[in-house]
A = this chain, B = another copy of it.
């Protein structure tokens, strides 16, 4: 009751919108419209998969439906359309959604903007549809529709329930009851109308307590029954039981990390999207809860290990519910929100691919992944102008700055094979932090100084040098070019450079200051090199070489050359930096006057 009294107060567990990490019993963090609907699709998919993997004859362990209530706002959002189309394709008979059709959104009557036939649209997606016309009074009708929906096994159900917003208030049927408290007299009248004592506040009638206690007891009995079932399951299906109970702790299987590939200098150059595919190929058997997919770019993202089974309704003959590869279609925003739902279920670690540039389409869901602290992995390939021919419409410039500024998000941009393994290691072992892996289309050489141990610190010295004149700080595909620039600078200009790779800001920032100062020491000027916006690089380097403009369409080597991301181009700026700081021993950017609030 105290929590209710602190509704929307600082440090309460009752914020303005439900947040799963703050409030026990809240399954997913919603509020931004369309996210919850899409999370529900993910939860239902998780149920279908988990049931298919673990249920056995006589052991119907995983049986839940997913229920979701959505309104006109969610109906209008594109993300919900994407998710609804996905759910229809997947024939998710375990998903029941109630559409609260109250005809009101913030701008007033939905007649001003939203006049489509919602049920017909859901029919087009392949959903079972029902309509309860008087949702204000017809409770039996709602109950019957729910019962009917539970009987429908071969497709998701939507029940349109036509209601009056703020039913009973003087403001009923208007947007005035959406976000504002009722006025005192209206509040009194509503309480009276529904049989409450109008003089009392923050009171729950004892009948309600009794009813809920009764339900709670029934629930507790069911839970005990289920726990017993699980125990018997453990006797009969030992390894499945161990797997399921382990998954629920969030821990990974012991020794899984031994499957991570390592590389040495002499190994061939490989695109980091391909390195990612190699990791997935090597670890997917060790981590059965990994469930992959792509927003229609499987062959480009390289997210599918060979012989993966698709997660599909068996009737499609394209896969089955045990399948671990999801065909998300061209639906980036729903994909990430569905992944948030998959992760929230507790038995799955989802990853999903698209081009880095199109992770922006999913920004709303990416943000909620961070806020709700779910472990999801976004495989973001074609991560720069290095994608070449597709041109500026596909070449990220602002994208890394965007997601690096997002709290509790690990943005990884590995430089080679060892760093790619490190990125996966961090992404998989951080239970409460989502990751974006920014991966190249083009081949990247294996680096002499790269190690998994270094890279998992988020940043490390990839090439050390005594009495260096400059530190080059870089990520991903540009680290190798920096290493080449070191030679060029030495041979052509007698300048000694060292190279630091910072594949992940978020993780590097969390290292002890002494470690960070060892990477970026006082007294040496530094130059960052990354082929996109320089915004944020001032945090690690005195000078920045980047691309604060849009890219260009062309073969990638030509594009790199146009913008001077070559050993020569880097050297030119390194020399300018060394000259600029001649006679000055600059303080490391790591040294700060005070600690940030985090």
Q: Mark A residues whose CB is within 8 Å of B.
A: 8-12, 15-17, 19, 29-33, 72-74, 76-82, 85-86, 88-89, 105-107, 110-118, 120-121, 123-126, 175, 294, 296-300, 310, 312, 316, 318, 327-331, 333-334, 357-358, 360-361, 363-364, 367-368, 370-371, 388-394, 397-398, 401-408, 525, 527, 533-536, 538-539, 542-544, 546-550, 552-555, 558-559, 562-564, 572-573, 576-577, 579-581, 589, 592-594, 596-598
Contacts and interface: CB of A to CB of B under 8 A. Distances in A.
A113 B296 contact: yes
A553 B8 contact: yes
Given A391-B15, A534-B596, A85 B106 contact: no
B554 A8 contact: yes
B77 A78 contact: yes
A562 B391 CA distance: 45
Contacts of A564: 597
A405 B32 contact: no
Contact of A89 (B32, B115, B394): B115
Contact of A573 (B12, B126, B294, B594): B594
Oligomeric state, in number of copies?
Answer: 2
B391 A357 contact: no
24 contacts: A9-B553, A12-B553, A15-B553, A16-B389, A17-B393, A73-B330, A76-B331, A78-B334, A107-B298, A107-B329, A115-B126, A117-B124, A120-B124, A123-B124, A360-B363, A360-B364, A361-B363, A397-B406, A398-B406, A406-B533, A407-B549, A408-B550, A534-B596, A549-B597
Contacts of A360: 363-364, 367
A144 B368 CA distance: 48
A129 to B, nearest CB: 11
A385 to B, nearest CB: 10
Contacts of A390: 16-17, 31
Contacts of A11: 552, 554, 562
Contacts of A334: 78
